[in-house]
Amino acid sequence: MTGWLRIVGLGPGAGRLVTPEAQAVLDQATDAVGYIPYVARLPDRDGLVKHASDNRVELDRAAHALTLAAQGRRVAVVSSGDPGVFAMASAVFEAVETGPPAWRALDIEVLPGITAMLAAAARAGAPLGHDFCAINLSDNLKPWALIERRLRLAAEADFAMAFYNPRSAARPEGFARTLAILRETCADARPVIFARAVSTPDESLRVVPLPDATAGMADMRTVVLIGSSRTRLIRRDGRPPIVYTPRFAG
């Protein structure tokens, strides 16, 4: 048996948003490797071995997957959303770069998925219709000082922004500090979109002006989108507003 490794994006939650290409790989894989809740999304079947691990062992997880592929296994490394956006693709390639030379000869591919910010933006309208950036607010892998610098620069450049991992029980204060920085730097009432568990039965979408946004509106299942100064809100009777950023915004 010839081994391979595929780094697969499972999309934001709903099975219908897994790409056909990704599903074909999952159907062929002998092993699925990933963070515990993502591996749990895969149905059990004969011939598939699941290897679930904690979210703070990405390099160990990547090395384990590469070892399995080198042994001739067909390995799917799974991430939610897109595997190249704050997920496992970079960890796998870091392990390849620093690992045994034989790993560089392995058959490795990255299969894209629909990442959370794109699913959330589609639900809201088109808030990322002009220039935007994505920032991971977790300080597990980078210092808060770097996050703060990037927040201020992005706000000063008037990007729309997407925030991943805004708030957790272990670090509840970070998102409150983020909102304070944005209120200070932006000094306006641009819309903030709290999109939780998009495409799942737990989905919720809330749009509030920046001065009214609070840290308690987000958790780890929420992606937060904030518009630029040009982002607009179309109000509709009895229906959620449409949020969009014109493409001609300067």
pLDDT at 134: 97
**Beta bridge partner(s), residue 111:** 8
Do the Cβ atoms of 8 and 26 come closer than 8 Å?
yes
Instruction: Kindly report the CATH number assigned to the domain that includes residue 199.
Output: 3.30.950.10
Kindly report, residue by residue over 59-90, the tens digit of the pLDDT.
999 999 999 999 999 999 999 999 999 999 99
Domain boundary among 114, 134, 158: 114
Whether residues 141 and 215 share a domain: the answer is yes
Domain boundary among 69, 93, 114: 114
Rounded Cα distance between 83 and 80, Å, is: 7
The total number of residues shown for the chain amounts to 250
Q: Which residues contact 237 (CB under 8 A, 6 or more apart)?
A: none
- Write out the H or E segment, with its range, that includes residue 218: none
**Beta bridge partner(s), residue 163:** 135, 224
Rounded Cα distance between 79 and 11, Å, is: 8
Whether residues 30 and 122 share a domain: the answer is no
User: pTM of the full predicted structure?
Assistant: 0.90
- Residue at 48: amino acid letter: L
Kindly report, residue by residue over 49-67, the tens digit of the pLDDT.
999 998 778 899 999 999 9
pLDDT at 167: 78
Do the Cβ atoms of 205 and 195 come closer than 8 Å?
yes
Distance of CA 174 to the CA centre of its chain: 18
Q: Is residue 250 scored above 60 in pLDDT?
A: no
> What confidence tier does 220 reach under pLDDT thresholds 50, 70, 90?
confident
Whether residues 140 and 210 share a domain: the answer is yes
Count the domains in the chain. Answer: 2
Q: Tell whether 236 is covered by a domain.
A: yes
Q: Tell whether 86 is covered by a domain.
A: yes
Q: Which residue has the higher pLDDT, 23 or 141?
A: 23
pLDDT at 56: 79
Helices of type H across 71-215: 88-98, 116-124, 144-156, 173-186
Beta strands 74-79 and 125-126, pairing class = unpaired
Rounded Cα distance between 229 and 250, Å, is: 10
Domain span holding position 141? 117-244
Whether residues 77 and 168 share a domain: the answer is no
pLDDT at 141: 80
Q: Is residue 169 scored above 70 in pLDDT?
A: no
DSSP code at position 215: G
Whether residues 183 and 95 share a domain: the answer is no
